[in-house]
Structure 1
């Protein structure tokens, strides 16, 4: 089993989404001793934001990086994404990664019936953390909804969210949110 572990929080060791993504990966490794993990820390490895030159393949270095990121994604059997909510959405670093892996002809294609994903047959875990409490299907959630849409667009249908929310609303709520989320991880 090949696992692609992505973290995107800018908070380092203080990050709840990083704690959750690491717990998920450890749980996966406990269940599969031959698991190979590739780690991508988007707060450390800069992925430049999409530009016209990058999109049109006019920057060889960035084209090579894009191909590498796509191949990592396609090769993975399991993708674990640590995603903290920033201002109702994703970190810009995670969005830059999405812009590099959502590529027509590579991870999806257009047909006469619409888009068809090419990267399916994998499991995605979203380790989500939020300072406030939003719940499922919140109109203020442009974090989990966007991730589910992107992964679904590339053909992935097996998506599980492990969420800790309210982590900036006091120590008691943060502790409960983390405990509840880690209990979800144990069930993986």
Structure 2
């Protein structure tokens, strides 16, 4: 199993999303003897924002190849200012490529990556879940869902930890719930 592990948090070892993606990747790796993990730290080694010259660059091609070769993609997506970090957006811009991961047809766009499993660790300082008053400004989980659906990945798995900045107790409870969610992923990986 080829696992692509992506982190995008700028907070280093204090990052909740990095903690969760590490746990997900470990849980997946522990389920099979043939796991190969490719790791990309989008904050420590950011991709340039997409430009026309960068679009066809060797680096962009390598990013696309890593994504296409992965059986499972684990993405750390902390919510910054209502959406994903720009570092992660630069990665998304490299993998949503016409003719590679989707194509245009007479009936509209068609995703070509439907056989790929994607697990996303979304972390949020406040409360932005389905029943929250702030749901309308949550654009991290929703953006990732829409971008992935465009390329055929219609059922990504989300492990969400939110309310992390409300209090120490709220952070502890949210992280415990997220780790519990990671534990439920293991049977799905086998």
Q: 5+ residue gaps in structure 1?
A: 58-62
Partner of 1:151: 148
- The DSSP-based 3-state class of the residue aligned with 1:169 is coil
Deviation at 1:53, TM superposition (A): 2.9
After TM superposition, list the pairs within 5 Å mapping 1:1-188 onto structure 2: 1-55=1-55, 57=56, 63-136=57-130, 138-188=135-185
Q: Distance in 1 between matches of 2:65 and 2:151?
A: 13
Q: In 1, are the aligned partners of 2:122 and 2:161 still within 8 Å (CA)?
A: yes
Q: 5+ residue gaps in structure 2?
A: 186-190
Deviation at 1:52, TM superposition (A): 3.1
Scaled by the length of structure 2, the TM-score of the pair is 0.93
Note the alpha carbon deviations across 1:95-139, whole angstroms, 9 max, x for none: 000111111111111000111111220110000100001103821
RMSD: 1.1
Q: In 2, are the aligned partners of 1:43 and 1:93 still within 8 Å (CA)?
A: yes
- The DSSP-based 3-state class of the residue aligned with 1:124 is strand
Q: Distance in 1 between matches of 2:59 and 2:25?
A: 24
Q: Distance in 2 between matches of 1:46 and 1:24?
A: 22
In the TM superposition, structure 1's runs of 4+ consecutive aligned residues that sit over 2 Å from their partners are: 52-55
Scaled by the length of structure 1, the TM-score of the pair is 0.94
